[in-house]
Amino acid sequence: MSGHVSVVVTRRAAAQLERAALWWRENRQAAPHAVADDFEDALRLLALQPELGARSASPRYPDLRRLFLSRIRYHVYYQTLPDKVVILAFWHASRQSPTL
């Protein structure tokens, strides 16, 4: 893929993001909006470079990719399709991989 593609966030990923952002706002006073800011940056980046994230090693999900957001230590799990990127999960790095 090249150029700019649309990025779609599933309801599940949006709910995970909202829970993480709420916790972060309440517990990280130095950067209360870091989760939302870093996620928005990731969406813009994936729209331009969908293949940026690491490919899944799982044969069950051959099209699954993962982008690590180092400042907040979250992974954005997503799938690339011909005309869009679909965000499937937003998961903290200390947790096991999400069940998709």
Write b or e for each residue in 13-46: b if 16 or more Cβ atoms lie within 10 A of its Cβ, otherwise e.
Answer: beebbeebbeebeeeeeeeeebbbebbeebbeeb
Quote the pTM value. 0.87
- Here the tokens at position 74 are 């979250």
Looking at every residue in the chain, the average pLDDT score rounds to 89
| pLDDT attached to residue 100 | 57
Count Cα atoms within 13 angstroms, Cβ side, for 28.
Answer: 14
> Roughly how many angstroms between the first and final C-alpha of the chain, as a whole number?
24
Q: At what angle do helices 34-48 and 11-27 cross, to 10 degrees?
A: 140
Q: What is the DSSP letter of 13?
A: H
Q: How confident is the model at residue 13 (pLDDT cuts 50, 70, 90)?
A: very high
Q: How confident is the model at residue 97 (pLDDT cuts 50, 70, 90)?
A: low
User: What are the boundaries of each domain within the chain?
Assistant: 6-92
| pLDDT attached to residue 93 | 83
3-state DSSP call for residue 7? strand
Secondary-structure class of domain 6-92 per CATH? alpha beta
